[in-house]
Amino acid sequence: MTDQQAHLARLQRALGYQFVDTSLLELALTHRSVGGRNNERLEFLGDSILNHIIAEAIFRKFPDAREGEMSRMRASLVKGETLARVARDLDLGDYLVLGSGERKSGGKRRGSILADALEAVIGAILLDSDVETCRTRVLDWYDPRLQALSLDEVSKDAKTRLQEYLQGRQRPLPEYALLAVQGEDHNQQFEVACRLAKPSLVVEGSGSSRRKAEQAAARVALERLQVRGK
């Protein structure tokens, strides 16, 4: 076994999948900075099948979830930040093939490159096997994150609901401003204002963190606008 074969064998053990055609895996690991033959087409394919697999998993796991709730859960799992974390779990950066510029600038650790490479690997597995095998691998990598999903949590995402409501009506997005922070470091209370330009509205919310205060303010805004949960 050559050094390259041993190198790819370690990655395949981490992936839990043995390629029939290892050239597909090599292509999936090749960033566009290398040249013309790179992983962009496989990334396109992997993105499509990943969205399908995650959407189906959420659909089955949450039979009572509304469309908007399922969309937000899917978005949280297929966004670049999450993809990069999954890629890091698999140590994918150790196997990337990059151009000299990307190597020198730390491309093997860059989230966007890792996310794209993971999608490309998913596309490569699909081409090397079949949909069911690809689904099994993806769900295995994503299992801790799927198990951690909560319908209660996604239903509380008032900021997203408020943003979607305003965007759907082509209105300016809300602006959040920190008004005050009270209490000791270990027990602080944040007060935040949420301002809407159209309709003109200013509401306030509070919470144990700025994020929670913003969510509280957004919920008040939704109530004032009489927007029902979705």
pLDDT band at residue 196, thresholds of 50, 70 and 90?
A: very high
User: How confident is the prediction for the chain on average, in pLDDT?
Assistant: 91
Looking at residue 229, what is its pLDDT?
55
**Poorest-confidence range of 4-8, 54-58, 113-117, 162-166?**
4-8
Cα dihedral across residues 72, 74, 75, 77: positive or negative: positive
CATH code at 3-150: 1.10.1520.10
Looking at residue 156, what is its pLDDT?
62
Would you kindly state where each structural domain of the chain is located, as residue ranges? 3-150, 156-225
How do residues 53-110 score in pLDDT, each as one tens digit? 999 999 999 999 988 889 889 998 999 989 999 999 999 999 999 998 888 888 888 8
The pTM (predicted TM-score) of the whole model is 0.70
Integer Cα distance of 174 and 225 in angstroms: 13
pLDDT band at residue 4, thresholds of 50, 70 and 90?
A: confident
Is residue 11 pLDDT above 60, yes or no?
A: yes
Looking at residue 5, what is its pLDDT?
81
Q: Tell me the CA end-to-end span of the chain in Å, nearest whole number.
A: 55
- Residue 131's DSSP bridge partners are none
**Widest CA span in the chain:** 69
Looking at residue 186, what is its pLDDT?
73
Instruction: Give the other-Cβ count within 10 Å of 97's Cβ.
Output: 18
Instruction: Give the other-Cβ count within 10 Å of 102's Cβ.
Output: 18
- Residues marked active site are found at 47, 119
Known binding-site residue numbers for Mg(2+) = 43, 116, 119
Known binding-site residue numbers = 43, 116, 119
Region 165-183 average pLDDT: 93
The domain 156-225 is placed in CATH, from the list 3.40.50.980, 3.30.160.20, 3.20.20.70, 3.30.365.10, at: 3.30.160.20
Torsion of Cα atoms, 57 then 58 then 61 then 64, to 10°: -150
